[in-house]
Chains A and B, each alone.
Chain A
Amino acid sequence: MDSKRKEVLVLEDILGSNKKIASSIRQKLLEHQILAVNLLSSPGSGKTSLLEKIGQKLQGKYRVGVVEGDVETERDAERIRKIGLPAWQITTHGACHLEAKMLARIFDQIPADLDFLFIENVGNLVCPASFDLGESLRFVLLSVPEGDDKPKKYPEAFITSQVFVLTKCDLLPYLPFDRERVVKEALEINPKLKVFETSAVTGEGIEELCAFLESELEKRRVKNA
């Protein structure tokens, strides 16, 4: 058998299929004027706790929904339902991140008249950063107990986000954590980041964060009106 060997130039984006699904989700969100936020952080940085606070605050005035991404269990979705918000759980069964196709599978269940859709990614500061979900904004959360040296250790998450939320700020008095250093370092790798400092215990910073979200929603609606 005389087989021939040859080279084929391909130049194709390996994440192309994820990006394609993400842009069709982005398109639908835009049509329905829903502001979608993808939240990234390590396990236990306070994503669900922050969403409980934000959800309660926005709830009266806006329609809010939450997608919960976890490796296993419905626990986070149940926490969100407890405060009266609709929540959809995606369990990835081992995968350490959400992909656009996972969101696409449940997208039909999400009501078109939502104002805000929060997507809590799987707790992991590395992997989720590579996958666009079609979100309007990406938030990276870092909690005070994790340490002030993280932005440069996890640059993808900080570079691909528009908002940096420093969580559990009520713990600042008890830990050797240099707030200025962490903000400086985050801005060095991404000077466009907007920074918020919050606590789900004292409620610090929640109002500011909600005001920002409202202004982003209005800004987009005016632009698309």
Chain B
Amino acid sequence: MHEMSIVADLFTIIEEQARKSGATRVTKVKVLIGELSGVVPELFRSAFHSYKKGTIADKATLEIKVTKIKFKCHGCGKEITAKNIMDESFSYACPFCGSKDMELISGRDLYLEKLEIETS
């Protein structure tokens, strides 16, 4: 369960951002979680809600958007969205040109996208 340490890093960013923008309270936090980031959204959510107590985001809601796995094919240049890499049918080859020279361009990311804050 590494979600807790990731949430701790998230709160460092939230607190810094809140200070910078003169927030008195953070009411909503929106994060992007890549399908291949190794983070389980539900575990992240419960870690978030237990960590938030006593912080500036005490009452904040959490919105999670799961970002899809995406590859770029170096053979033909097309972008490929992998339905599900864990699928039995998944095979690592470009569906357009068959090349195996593909690069993972999204799906591993973990981002704090935006905050909703209150200022006095």
Q: Is B58 an interface residue (CB 8 A)?
A: no
Does A3 have its Cβ within 8 Å of any Cβ on chain B? yes
Contact between B13 and A14, CB atoms less than 8 A apart: yes
Q: CB within 8 Å of B: which of A1-28?
A: 1-18
A6 touching B117 by the CB < 8 A rule? Answer: yes
Q: For the complex, give the distance between the alpha carbons of A3 and B116 in Å.
A: 13
Q: Is A205 an interface residue (CB 8 A)?
A: no
Q: Is the CB of A11 within 8 A of B111?
A: yes
Q: Which of B9, B85, B108, B113 contacts A17 (CB 8 A)?
A: B9
For residue B112, which residues in chain A have a CB less than 8 angstroms away from its CB?
10-12, 14
Verify A5–B117 contact, CB threshold 8 A: yes
Residue of A nearest to B21 (CB): A8
A-B CB pair tally, cutoff 8 Å: 110
Cross-chain contact of B13 among A5, A10, A127, A160 (Cβ < 8 A): A10
Residues of A within 8 A of B118 (CB): 3-5
Interface residues of B, count at CB 8 A:
40
Please encode chain A, from 73 to 95, with 1 for each CB lying within 8 Å of some chain B CB and 0 for all others.
Answer: 00000000000000000000001
Asked if B62 is at the interface (CB within 8 A of a chain A CB), the reply is no
Interface string of B35-50 (1 = CB under 8 A from A): 0111100000000000
Q: Is A153 positioned at the interface, with any CB of B under 8 Å from its CB?
A: yes
**Which A residue's beta carbon lies closest to that of B14?**
A10
Tell whether, in the assembled complex, residue B39 and residue A130 are in contact, meaning their CB atoms are under 8 Å apart.
yes
CA distance A22 to B12 in the complex (A): 18
Cβ contact within 8 Å between B113 and A156: no
Q: Contacts of A188 on B, CB cut-off 8 Å? A: 90-92
A161-215, CB < 8 A from B: 187-191
Q: Which residues of chain A have C-beta atoms less than 8 A from B109's C-beta?
A: 13
Bitwise, A9-51 to B at CB < 8 A (1) or not (0) is: 1111111111000000000000000000000000000000000
Q: Is the CB of B12 within 8 A of A17?
A: yes
Is A189 a contact of B90 with CB atoms below 8 Å?
Answer: yes
Report the minimal beta-carbon distance from A38 to chain B, rounded to whole angstroms: 14
Contacting residues, chain B, for A1 (C-beta < 8 A): 120
A138 interface contact, C-beta 8 A? no
Task: Give A128-151 as 1s and 0s: 1 = Cβ < 8 Å from B's Cβ atoms.
Answer: 111100000000000000000000
Residues from chain B with a CB closer than 8 A to the CB of A127 are 1-2, 38
Minimum CB distance partner of A128 in chain B? B2
Known contacts A15-B6, A17-B12; A4/B111 CB under 8 A: no
Digit string of B88-100 for contact with A (CB within 8 Å is 1, else 0)?
1011100000001
- 27 residue pairs of the A-B complex, CB under 8 angstroms, read A1-B120, A4-B119, A6-B116, A7-B115, A8-B116, A8-B117, A9-B113, A9-B114, A10-B13, A10-B114, A11-B114, A13-B109, A14-B9, A14-B110, A15-B6, A16-B9, A16-B13, A17-B12, A95-B2, A127-B1, A127-B2, A155-B86, A156-B38, A159-B36, A159-B104, A188-B91, A190-B92
Q: Which residues of B contact A (CB under 8 A)?
A: 1-2, 5-6, 9-10, 12-13, 17, 21, 23-25, 27, 31, 36-39, 85-86, 88, 90-92, 100, 104, 108-120
